[in-house]
Structure 1
Amino acid sequence: MTCPIILNFDRSVGEINNARTIDVTEWQDAIRFGCTEKKFFHFEKVLQQSLPDKYGTVLMGSGDFHHVSLLLIERLAKQYSASNPIQVVVFDNHPDNMRYLFGIHCGSWISYVANLPFVSHVHVLGITSQDIGLFHFWENRWSPLFHKKLTYWSLDVNVAWAKKIGLSRAFRDFATPADLIASFLSEQYHSTQPIYLSIDKDVLSEEVVHTNWDQGKLQTYHILDTITSIKPRLIGSDITGELSIWRSSNWFKRFLSSLDKQPMISSDDLSNWQQEQHQLNLTLLKALSG
């Protein structure tokens, strides 16, 4: 059994038996939320030197680091190709396929993954964010959607406008989380392509766990059912969505982060909610490795 990896950016991931912790706290301010591509790929070199050849699920802390998933997926280029491709399945309350003019950030990394030659398709499951609604449509990156490399699986977002421009297959809307998961798993039933799974816990309802971001409507069992169904095809996975408090030293990052209106967290809430997060991590890791 391969051991989990904790990329310790923000000290938010609790202690996990048999996990290997890689200290990258010195990179928190540089990488968190977003950074230039030059800085991002500089960090990639550091990461490649730190990671073992084989490892299990990677825990990365706050969803502000979700773009690091791109670097983990890129490592699979050694094993897969356009003639032997993989799919990427992402649980997230946001599309993470938005335009970002200043490099790469936690809300733009999906478009990079969709452009990888060995990735046949990216599925983002559980979106309730208005990022894919009519008033924000121009902020999305259109290439992977029009080229049938990316599908949004959403709840409670009016995406009827997408049908009018030929994107009905890329924008899938459902009445309930159960309908969404059932439709996705039904579509995947006959596929044999390997899958990389990325979980941002902001896809879950606040009744389940609290994160730094606005949250979706899924329950834990929706993710567990999906893992059970696709597990024979899983080749890698990561988890983000921890709670941590951060104030960047960079005024521009502080400004951009403020636009997302992340909630203030008291010290008592932080401690209690991080314990909830820890128990959920253990549940997810058991499902992924058991």
Structure 2
Amino acid sequence: MQITIHDFSGVYSGQKFMQTLRESTKALWLDGTGIAGIDCYCDDEAVAAIREQIANAGIKNAEGIHFIDGGNYHYMSKIWTDMVQEPFTLVVFDHHPDMQPPRFGDILSCGGWVKKVLDENKFTDNVIIIGVADHLVDEICAEIASHPTGARNDNVFFIRESEIASIQTGSLPTVHSTLPLYISIDKDALAPAFAATNWDQGSLSLDQMKAIITEIAKDHRIIGVDICGERARDIEDSRADALNSELNRELAEFLLEIL
């Protein structure tokens, strides 16, 4: 199973596991530090540059494990799922719904990429977002209700942060079809004991996340997985780097076993 690493901010330089991957033949390392227009928002020129970089690496589909840097680059999930050419369910672990429209134009953003997937990807059957802060679910549901003719919002299902404990050992009620899954993990869904991110975090444990993924993988093919949620790049923090390095190692080893 191919591992691809998108290095946009240089944050992986402090992680022992990621550097080990870089030095091995087990991963493709794509250096995006020289691409302009990519922090939080990704303009059209940057999208084209990233897609060209992926194509030049010989990647033709969304299969595999993709490390996509910090939460500011979660829009990479939109770029990867654009490569899926069959009906699928998108499963997202995130403390935020990522369904906000951009503040200007129709630009791709880390806070609105899920909405873009729903609006533009005809193969997306439904979206399940797990671990979202309860108050953010209330806010986005109220916004959806006020714009009933907007995106395909009837295909979005939220599992609130407060509901996690009740579903950790059982199947997700909204994964009801036999369609394959694409899984996107923002580590800010996890409690601070498990990850150090650049956004406010939830209370999910790593064991809970693994249990949910294991359960849904029993009956569904997983097309690919991406992982974001590194620490803020402008704050040197060896403790955070060590914590995230270990988490990335555990996630990679776990996912390689089930994919």
- Say whether the 8 Å CA contact 2:100–2:111 is kept in structure 1: yes
From 151, 154, 178, give the equivalent of 2:157. 151
Q: How far is 1:149 from its partner?
A: 1.6
1:76 aligns to 2:84 (yes or no): yes
Residues 191-218 of structure 1: CA deviation (Å, up to 9, x unaligned): 3110000100000011222110000110
Number of residue equivalences: 240
Larger Rg, first or second structure (1 or 2): 1
CA distance in 1, matches of 2:228, 2:127: 18
- Consecutive unaligned residues of structure 2, counting only runs of 5 or more, are 13-17
1:271 aligned partner: 238
From 205, 209, 224, give the equivalent of 2:191. 205
1:24 aligned partner: 32
Q: How far is 1:93 from its partner?
A: 0.3
From 31, 42, 53, give the equivalent of 1:46. 53
1:121 aligns to 2:141 (yes or no): no
Alignment of 1:130-279 (within 5 A): 130-134=135-139, 137-138=142-143, 143-144=150-151, 146=153, 148-156=154-162, 174=163, 177-182=164-169, 185-188=172-175, 191-231=177-217, 232-246=220-234, 265=235, 267=236, 270-279=237-246
- Say whether the 8 Å CA contact 1:123–1:152 is kept in structure 2: yes
CA distance in 2, matches of 1:48, 1:149: 30
Alpha-carbon distance change, 37 to 130 in structure 1, aligned in 2, over 3 angstroms: farther
1:163 aligned partner: none
CA distance in 2, matches of 1:99, 1:275: 35
1:11 aligns to 2:13 (yes or no): no
TM-score, normalization by structure 1: 0.74
Instruction: State the structure with bigger RCO (CA 8 A, min sep 6), 1 or 2.
Output: 2
SS of residue in 2 equivalent to 1:25:
coil
**AA at the equivalent of 2:242:** Q
Q: How far is 1:183 from its partner?
A: 6.1
CA distance in 1, matches of 2:241, 2:47: 27
CA distance in 2, matches of 1:145, 1:217: 29
1:169 aligned partner: none
* The 10-residue stretch of structure 1 (111-120 or 42-51) with the greater mean CA deviation from structure 2: 42-51
**AA at the equivalent of 1:274:** D
* The 10-residue stretch of structure 1 (234-243 or 221-230) with the greater mean CA deviation from structure 2: 221-230
TM-score, normalization by structure 2: 0.83
The alignment yields a C-alpha RMSD, in angstroms, of: 2.5
- Say whether the 8 Å CA contact 2:101–2:115 is kept in structure 1: no
From 249, 255, 259, give the equivalent of 1:288. 255
Q: How far is 1:67 from its partner?
A: 0.2
1:89 aligned partner: 91
Alpha-carbon distance change, 224 to 76 in structure 1, aligned in 2, over 3 angstroms: same
CA distance in 2, matches of 1:30, 1:271: 28
1:254 aligned partner: none
- Say whether the 8 Å CA contact 1:93–1:129 is kept in structure 2: no
CA distance in 1, matches of 2:67, 2:77: 10
Identical-residue share of aligned pairs (%): 26
